[in-house]
Amino acid sequence: MSAPMDQIEEGRVRLRVHGADADREEDSVPALVFAAKLATLVRAINAADKAVNGKVSHEIKIEKLSSSAPTALLAEEFIPQKMKIGYASGIGAFADCVGAILEGRADQARQYGSCVEHVYRLTTGARKKFEYAEVWVHNQIFRVDQFLSERSEAIFRPELYKAEVQADLTFFSGVAFGSFDGTVQVADMRGSLPAIKLVLSAGGKQLDCICKDFHVEKIRMALNRRVRVSGKAFYDGRSGLPRRIEVFDIEGTSPDVDFTKWKGSFEQFDVPGWEGDGE
């Protein structure tokens, strides 16, 4: 059973890569892919470190490696330098950069220099050479996948996205909390961020969802059932529906409800006016 999200010490980052073959019991990841992703992660952290400190001020060292699900725990070590005190964590800056990328805060993400580009490169090969990777930083966890690829590329190469977005400016771009009624289909239970597909009751379109802090059993219970999913919805401005939902609640519905029993169950009332709301 997948445990709720781990927390690791500050100044450390953990990378875990999941193999492309979801049917295999254990993750099988080519060594070259894992090594490339590890190197790219270090480059991204160094870029963020340089952006916030003026120069690379930490050395990233391997603290632990494990192979059951290819995982590396890295720690940053301050490089003593003369004439300067009060350095910011490069790993922390990397996490801030990824958070800004995911929420579409382009200007903030660009403050971390070439970190955005390295984050994009971290995602290349997702769903092909590997399914997805997880990066833990302190109490946050990021999914390195197609979604992060799109979000980072939109900042890294905005010219590719501008024309498409400008074709319809009415779509919202940003983050909003919301809930969606649909049927849970297809679940990838691997790792700390299980993924589900939600087929919307309204319209039948499919939404990509990831589940944070969820036990696998709760997701299994929801499979092929009509549910209401609540979470943080990421809109990319290219559609009226969110590109991804970070799920924080899944509420089941009952298929055999007889709503007619509630007929006449209220005394007379009118729709309350909203005019004085907030006064």
Partner 1 sequence: MIHSNHLYWDTCIFISYLTDSMPHMTSEIDTYIRDAKKGKVSIYYSTVVLAEIRQEKFKSPNSSDISQFFSDLGSAFIAVDPLPTIMAPAIIQLTQLRPRPLNAKNASAFTFHVRRYSRFGL
Tell me which residues touch partner 1 (CB under 8 A): 170-172, 174, 176, 178-181, 200-205, 228, 233, 235, 239-241, 251, 253-273
Nearer to partner 1, 85 or 257 (CB): 257
Nearer to partner 1, 83 or 202 (CB): 202
Ramachandran area for residue 39 (φ above 0: left; ψ -120 to 50: alpha; else beta):
alpha
Nearer to partner 1, 54 or 240 (CB): 240
Rg (alpha carbons) of the chain, rounded to whole number: 22
Q: How far is the CB of 157 from partner 1 (least distance, A)?
A: 24
Distance CA 59, CA 45 (A): 10
Contact status, residue 175 vs residue 233, Cβ threshold 8 Å: yes
Residue 50 identity (one-letter amino acid) = K
Looking at the chain, how many residues does it have? 279
Distance CA 150, CA 157 (A): 10
Nearer to partner 1, 80 or 204 (CB): 204
Q: In 3-state terms, what secondary structure has residue 217? A: helix
Nearer to partner 1, 264 or 278 (CB): 264
Q: How far is the CB of 231 from partner 1 (least distance, A)?
A: 11
Distance CA 216, CA 205 (A): 24
Q: How far is the CB of 169 from partner 1 (least distance, A)?
A: 10
Q: How far is the CB of 175 from partner 1 (least distance, A)?
A: 9
Q: How far is the CB of 199 from partner 1 (least distance, A)?
A: 11
SS3 string, 10-54, reads CCEEEEEEECCCCCCCCCCCCHHHHHHHHHHHHHHHHHHHHHHHC
Nearer to partner 1, 86 or 272 (CB): 272
Q: How far is the CB of 263 from partner 1 (least distance, A)?
A: 6
